[in-house]
Amino acid sequence: MSIPSELLQEIDAFLLANGMADTTFGRQVANDGKLIARLRSGKGITTSTVEKIRDYIKTNTSPGGAPDALPASPEVLERIAGALERLAPEAKAGDNLGDADAFVWHADGLRLEAVKKVSRIDIILLKGIDEQADRLLDNTLRFAKGLPANNALLWGARGTGKSSLVKAVHAKVLKKFPKLALVEIHREDLPTLPKLLSLLRQSDRYCLLFCDDLSFESSDASYKSLKAVLEGGIEGRPDNVIFYATSNRRHLMARDMIENERSTAINPSEAVEEKVSLSDRFGLWLGFHNHDQDTYLAIVDGYAKHFKLKSPKINLKAEAIEWSMTRGSRSGRVAWQYIQDLAGRLGKPLG
């Protein structure tokens, strides 16, 4: 939902009366130090967050304390605005798309930040997802060649290599097509996606736009802007941009959210269809599932060979199985965590 016009006034009045910083207020209310900064930049807010803010102000305002809203005096408002402007850091200039091969989008300043070294592993080390890797690589190669390609949704179990595959595929294609840039947008910054696309549209680089751990809650309406951008909007997706997302949910929302829509709507089928149709905007669906023990051990063995961690003192198989049992899971992430532990014990860096 949009920000109620009086909400920022109530917040500013409370901060002024209590001498509290924006970041402290955000952490106290929602464990989010950037909450107020995003509100000031015009981002949307959920109904539950509005209620949390007002409950916090009410609970922490003593009788005769801060007023519910700022006085209407123009002089007071001007003084507060001036103070906020002096305290606010200067906006940083965004990096140029030619400065690096990977970037992170910062919605607070509507700018791109170059990432000099991407945290990723080689695609040959990703085991048990060969079919998914082949299909995503083929789709990305076609895009980098300027041919038609689909937006991709990588969904499934936690820790099975979804985001690792996106970054690994980008690295492999980049060797042959150096004009392919990787641009990450955080899920909470999706309302600014149209502005990001306007910026990327002006570039002569092909841009792989990536959103990790994408999902939506019942009170979140930002999925509507994403739907319009992916397909169906007037401008649509720029020809030089493709969108890849990872999610633990196939339809990007919790099952109870879908069931709630079905039970409360006048026309249940239409209510569910409107939300579930977001995943239909992704032409390529790739499912990721929990690994069996053989695949898990193959991942561990591949890492150990690559980083030269084999030792006659280490029973790699037994240790890896015990590690997975203590974690209650067999996945690429659990295998990597074991390898980090092993490398630390052997005194060998992973690089």
The answer on pLDDT for 274 being more than 60 is no
Residues 6+ apart with CB under 8 A from 340: 350
In 100-238, the DSSP E strands lie at 102-106, 111-114, 152-156, 180-184, 206-211
Task: Kindly report the CATH number assigned to the domain that includes residue 53.
Answer: 1.10.260
Q: Could you tell me if residue 1 is inside a domain? A: no
Mean pLDDT to the nearest integer, 99-109: 93
Last residue of a domain, one of 22, 56, 87: 87
Q: Which H or E run contains 286?
A: strand 284-288
User: In this structure, are residues 331 and 159 in contact, taking their beta carbons and an 8 Å threshold?
Assistant: yes
Q: Are 52 and 29 in contact (CB under 8 A)?
A: yes
Domain span holding position 159: 102-288
The pLDDT tens digits of the residues spanning 126-139 come to 989 999 999 999 99
Higher pLDDT, 24 or 154: 154
Burial of residue 266, with CB atoms counted within 10 A of its CB: 0-12 exposed, 13-18 middle, 19 or more buried: exposed
Report yes or no on 220 lying in a domain. Answer: yes
Domain total for the chain?
3
Structure tokens at 178: 């150096």
Same domain, yes or no: 35 and 173 = no
**Residue 27 pLDDT greater than 90, yes or no:** no
pLDDT bin (cut points 50, 70, 90) of residue 166 is very high
Last residue of some domain: 288, 306, 330?
A: 288
Q: Is the residue at 351 inside a domain?
A: no
Is 190 in the same domain as 259? yes
**Which of 269, 288, 307 is the endpoint of a domain?**
288
pLDDT over threshold 90, residue 39: no
Provide the mean pLDDT of the chain: 83
What does pTM read for this prediction?
Answer: 0.68
Residue 126 sits in the same domain as residue 258? yes
Residue 197 and residue 190 in contact, taking contact as beta carbons nearer than 8 Å: no
